[in-house]
């Protein structure tokens, strides 16, 4: 019980604390760093309003939780703490698609640009609990190393990024981690925990193993274990992040983690709310060659004059336009000629009114995606270590 009390006291620290030291040296970034939207001043010269705006641009609809009082919690954090900690956890579960690859690069570079430190929680134990890669930990860890290579090649600025393996960190600090997990578990009902099962890609009515039921308690504990100030995950992870804020109320902790949830890109086919690694036609993968990208976009669902539920429009909005700060469409003069969009609302307006046709949108989208992905292809073609990792990962069977 003394260990549990010590952990609980540790959780009540204020945001003025210093950042934990980075473990190990980071690998150099290969190629060009992914852009941050607009011209930005160096972080030490940015105003608090500029930092808040940049951080909020990562969130769905430029918002975070909580949003009361003009995002007072976020402002307090960015205004008072040196090196606030953002975190995202990911299960190594197969090849990386552009939602996890390109969007994550864009988001991380924005947050580190705003003065944050970003901790990637490589959730190898969690992937094993969730039966990814057939529950084979060695395969899972191989996939994890491949994913790091993808982000390096795609242009993630790693200067303020840490990659931490859950198996190593938990084993190394077990006396801190497991009492925290147990305390979260004992303070919540089984019904409350099973409502979080959607974070694993499961439905509330799905039959789950005991390990999978324990998963949300562990993910909730991760937030405090990593001393994360901002939970920067997808909208599909909101429930467990809310659980963490509720836990702060239970232990009387004033400072709660801020939830900054990014948009979830849909699959390429009709009715697919989310990209699926198990369906190769659903997603564009980070090392897909130029012909594969063109083929997938050509076959993608893209109804004329319909913006809602149109994955091609979303890929322009969340991938290509933020990357280049513009989207260029080449057309015959009789169809309007070349046009460069710098604002997604203008593009949506033209598309809705029939001024921009799928036959012109799709080739422009393919061209933009291929330009973004080319450095990744080059890395996995020319670097022997990366090439071998990709070959191995492609040989694995993806399991749900």
High-pLDDT (> 90) share of the chain, %: 74
Contact 336, 355 (CB under 8 A): yes
Burial 187-203 (b: 16+ CB within 10 A, else e): ebeeeebbbbbbbbebe
- Which two structure tokens, joined as six digits, stand for 350? 């033209």
Give the H or E element holding residue 231.
strand 230-231
pLDDT for the residue 397: 87
Given a cut of 50, is residue 79 above it in pLDDT? yes
Q: What integer best gives the mean pLDDT of the chain?
A: 88
Q: What is the pLDDT of residues 195-231, one digit of tens each?
A: 887 765 655 566 767 767 788 999 999 999 999 999 9
> Cβ contacts of residue 4 below 8 Å, gap of 6+?
179, 182, 183
Q: The whole model's pTM is what?
A: 0.86
In the chain, the largest separation of any two C-alpha atoms, in whole Å, equals: 77
What is the rounded CA–CA span in Å between residue 208 and residue 155?
38
Contact 110, 58 (CB under 8 A): yes
Contact 362, 301 (CB under 8 A): no
Q: What value does the mean pLDDT take over residues 133-152?
A: 96
Nearest to 227 by CA among 193, 256, 261: 256
């Amino acid at each position: 019980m003394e260990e549990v009390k010590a952990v609980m006291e540790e959780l009540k620290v204020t945001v003025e604390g210093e950042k934990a030291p980075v473990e190990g040296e980071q690998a150099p970034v290969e190629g060009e760093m992914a852009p941050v939207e607009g011209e930005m001043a160096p972080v030490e010269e940015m105003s608090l309003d500029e930092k808040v705006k940049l951080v909020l641009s990562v969130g769905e609809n430029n918002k975070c939780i909580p949003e009361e009082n003009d995002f007072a919690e976020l402002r307090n954090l960015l205004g008072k703490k040196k090196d606030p900690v953002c975190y995202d956890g990911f299960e190594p579960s197969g090849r990386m698609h552009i939602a996890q690859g390109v969007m994550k690069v864009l988001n991380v570079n924005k947050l580190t640009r705003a003065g944050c430190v970003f901790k990637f929680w490589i959730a190898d134990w969690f992937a094993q609990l969730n039966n990814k890669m057939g529950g084979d930990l060695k395969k899972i860890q191989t996939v994890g190393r491949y994913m790091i290579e993808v982000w390096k090649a795609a242009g993630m600025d790693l200067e303020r990024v840490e990659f931490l393996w859950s198996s190593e960190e938990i084993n190394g600090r077990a006396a801190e981690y497991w009492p925290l997990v147990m305390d979260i578990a004992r303070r919540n009902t089984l019904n409350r925990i099973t409502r979080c099962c959607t974070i694993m890609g499961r439905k509330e009515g799905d039959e789950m193993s005991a390990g999978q039921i324990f998963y949300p308690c562990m993910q909730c504990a991760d937030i405090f274990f990593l001393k994360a100030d901002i939970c920067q995950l997808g909208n599909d992870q909101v429930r467990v992040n809310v659980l963490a804020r509720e836990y702060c109320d239970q232990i009387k902790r004033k400072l709660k983690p801020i939830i900054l949830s990014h948009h979830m890109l849909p699959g390429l086919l009709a009715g697919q709310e989310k990209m699926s690694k198990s369906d190769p036609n659903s997603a564009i993968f980070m090392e897909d060659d130029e012909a594969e990208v063109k083929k997938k976009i050509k076959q993608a669902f893209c109804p004329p004059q319909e913006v809602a539920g149109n994955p091609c429009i979303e890929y322009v909005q969340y991938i290509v336009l933020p990357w280049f700060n513009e989207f260029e469409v080449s057309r015959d003069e009789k169809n309007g000629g070349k046009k460069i969009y710098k604002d997604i609302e203008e593009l949506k307006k033209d598309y809705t009114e029939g001024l921009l046709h799928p036959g012109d949108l799709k080739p422009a989208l393919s061209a933009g995606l291929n330009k973004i992905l080319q450095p990744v292809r080059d890395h996995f073609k020319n670097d022997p270590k990366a090439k071998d990792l990709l070959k191995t990962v492609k040989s694995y069977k993806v399991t749900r």
